[in-house]
């Protein structure tokens, strides 16, 4: 069982489908979990789904990572409640249901997905990595998907930001290799079985399995894992 007692984690996107599994795993491992959503009702619904494990270690805050000012406001609110952060997880972004060929993508959709799936990661990393440098043995984990590396037609608005996000993670790993912060990007090479999945397949990874892995990555047991891109694969079972 992963141990995160005494650790304080910020899970960006914790009210999302994958984020919920990550929040649950961190709480089960004993961490204090701060998470954010742009909507209070999503945080209320998350608390209801988590149930008793929230105890007094679940700290939801309404906020956005869409621009630097909002993110810095969020950071200041977090640092008023807690003197430090030990771990940050960026489970941000969303899928694109009405995929069309690239040459039919509207400017509006292009800007929307670059913001949601790429700019948010830049804003989150730029705001919270400096906070983590002040804590010994801290970690920053990006969540990524296989669209970053596999060419899928009509999926450009997920794939292009995902590829940019992976390079962002690699640049930060290099630039901050002496900072003391362990930066990793967990690549999910599977569809994910989440609360939103209508017909799950047994080979898909579950949000809680991702959560357990990411919680381990934030623990002291994973002290040797840095600047890595581990792949979580779907598999028959
Ligand atoms: N689901 C899958 O099958 C799958 C597969 C491979 C990889 N992944 C990866 O898993 C991660 C999460 O995906 P998901 O399926 O959980 O997506 P999701 O359910 O759509 O959740 C995305 C989260 O991103 C947050 N977000 C978006 N824009 C934001 C902003 N401006 N400020 C703050 N937060 C913002 C949302 O917060 P709000 O609560 O404010 O809306 C939401 O909680 C992504 O990195 C994705 O690449 C997922």
Q: How far is the CA of 67 from the centre of ligand 1 (A)?
A: 16
- CATH number assigned to the domain comprising residue 194: 3.40.50.720
What does the pLDDT read at residue 14? Answer: 98
Structure tokens at 140: 């920053």
Shortest-distance Cα residue to atom 11 of ligand 1: 91
The set of protein residues with a Cβ atom below 6 angstroms from ligand 1 is: 13, 15-19, 37-39, 42, 64-66, 91-94, 116, 120, 143-145, 188, 191-192
In a domain, 204, yes or no: yes
Q: What angle (nearest 5°) sits at the alpha carbon of residue 140, between those of residues 139 and 146?
A: 130
In a domain, 77, yes or no: yes
Instruction: Kindly give the confidence (pLDDT) of every residue in the chain, 237 residues in length, as a single tens digit, with 9 standing for 90 and above.
Output: 789 999 999 999 999 999 999 999 999 999 999 999 999 999 999 999 999 998 889 999 999 999 999 999 999 999 999 999 999 999 999 888 878 999 999 999 999 999 999 999 999 999 999 999 999 999 999 999 999 999 999 999 999 999 999 999 999 999 999 999 999 999 999 999 999 999 989 999 999 999 999 999 999 999 999 999 999 999 887
In a domain, 193, yes or no: yes
In a domain, 1, yes or no: no
Q: Scanning the structure block, which residue is given the tokens 């609110």?
A: 77
In a domain, 25, yes or no: yes
Long-range CB contacts for residues 71-78, cutoff 8 Å, separation at least 24: 71/123, 71/124, 71/126, 71/127, 71/128, 72/127, 74/36, 74/127, 75/127, 75/128, 75/131, 78/10, 78/34
In a domain, 3, yes or no: no
Residues of the domain holding 94: 8-233
* 3-class DSSP assignment, residue 236: coil
Per the structure, the count of domains in the chain is: 1
Q: Residue 10 has what DSSP assignment? A: E
In a domain, 2, yes or no: no
| Residue whose C-alpha is closest to residue 49's, from 19, 76, 71, 70 | 19
* 3-class DSSP assignment, residue 74: helix
In a domain, 131, yes or no: yes
Shortest-distance Cα residue to atom 21 of ligand 1: 16
Shortest-distance Cα residue to atom 8 of ligand 1: 145
Structure tokens at 168: 């962002």
């Amino acid at each position: 069982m992963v141990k995160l007692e005494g650790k304080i984690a910020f899970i960006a996107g914790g009210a999302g489908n994958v984020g919920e599994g990550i929040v649950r795993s961190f709480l089960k491992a004993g961490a204090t979990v701060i998470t954010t959503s742009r909507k209070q009702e999503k945080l209320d619904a998350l608390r209801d789904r988590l149930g008793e494990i929230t105890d007094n270690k679940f700290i939801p805050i309404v906020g956005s990572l869409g621009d630097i000012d909002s993110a810095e406001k969020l950071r200041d609110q977090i640092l008023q409640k807690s003197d430090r952060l030990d771990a940050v997880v960026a489970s941000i972004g969303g899928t694109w249901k009405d995929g069309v060929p690239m040459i039919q993508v509207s400017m509006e959709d292009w800007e929307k997905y670059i913001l949601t799936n790429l700019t948010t990661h830049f804003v989150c990393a730029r705001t919270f990595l400096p906070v983590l440098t002040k804590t010994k043995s801290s970690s920053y984990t990006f969540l990524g998907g296989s669209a970053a590396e596999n060419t899928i037609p009509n999926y450009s608005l997920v794939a292009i930001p995902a590829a940019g996000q992976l390079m962002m993670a690699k640049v930060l790993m290099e630039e901050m290799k002496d900072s003391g912060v362990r930066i990793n990007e967990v690549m999910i090479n599977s569809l994910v079985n989440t609360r939103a999945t209508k017909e799950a397949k047994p080979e898909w990874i579950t949000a809680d399995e991702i959560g357990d892995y990411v919680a381990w990555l934030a623990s002291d047991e994973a002290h040797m894992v840095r600047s890595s891109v581990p792949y979580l694969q779907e598999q028959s079972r």
